[in-house]
Amino acid sequence: MNYKLIIAACILGLIFTQIFIYEFKRKPNEYTELNFVFLKKEGEKNDVYKIYLDETVETGEKVFSYKGDFYTILDYSNGMFFLAKYPKEIKENEKFNFSFEITNNLGKDWNYTYYILLNEKIVKENDILLKNKEKKLIKEELQISSTGKNKVSIKLDTKEEIYFYVEVY
């Protein structure tokens, strides 16, 4: 057996693997941030809570319920969640405002398409151009006519999604 050929093939394989990894690796600094910014009725203070945890917690969910109220995770770092509370209940056909923020960290200007969905159905679609490192606050208003638990989602064409639930009575 010719071991020199086997060793040469292995070395070439390692070189090609390194080139492939270098050329096609995901750059960790290129991403899009999508966060809710919740507004309450005029004159009321926005509620933001801090919860300190003793251990690392990993969750794929951005929304959870605690004591009957819904919360969204705005940020998580060093064992600390930053949470925002948003309206749990509204009246049927009552208009309510909510805001979200898009931050472009893709390393280039990007024309985002965002979709507002109510119970997985698109109710609004809009485009917004953001320069690299630019952050934009978007204010929206929604009116829900279907009673019960409703899911309000924001989806970007870059696959990010955030959502919350609101009970309509």
| 142-160 pLDDT, tens digit each | 899 989 999 999 999 988 9
- Give the model's confidence band at 42: pLDDT under 50 very low, under 70 low, under 90 confident, else very high: very low
Whether 44 contacts 18, CB under 8 Å: no
Long-range contacts of 160-165 (CB under 8 A, 24+ apart): 160/32, 160/33, 160/34, 161/34, 162/34, 162/35, 162/36, 162/62, 162/72, 162/100, 163/62, 163/63, 163/117, 164/36, 164/63, 164/70, 164/72, 164/86, 164/98, 165/63, 165/70
* Predicted model pTM: 0.60
Q: What is the CATH number of domain 31-168?
A: 2.60.40.10
Q: Which of 71, 132, 130 is nearest to 101 (CA)?
A: 130
Greater pLDDT, 13 or 54 = 13
- Comparing 22-31, 41-50, 57-66, 72-81, which segment has the lowest mean pLDDT? 41-50
What's the pLDDT score for residue 75?
Answer: 65
Greater pLDDT, 120 or 71 = 120
Indicate whether 111 pLDDT > 90: yes
Distance in angstroms (rounded) separating the CA atoms of residues 85 and 51? 13
- Comparing 2-16, 69-83, 151-165, which segment has the lowest mean pLDDT? 69-83
Percent of the chain with pLDDT over 70: 64
Best-predicted range by mean pLDDT among 2-16, 32-46, 51-65?
2-16
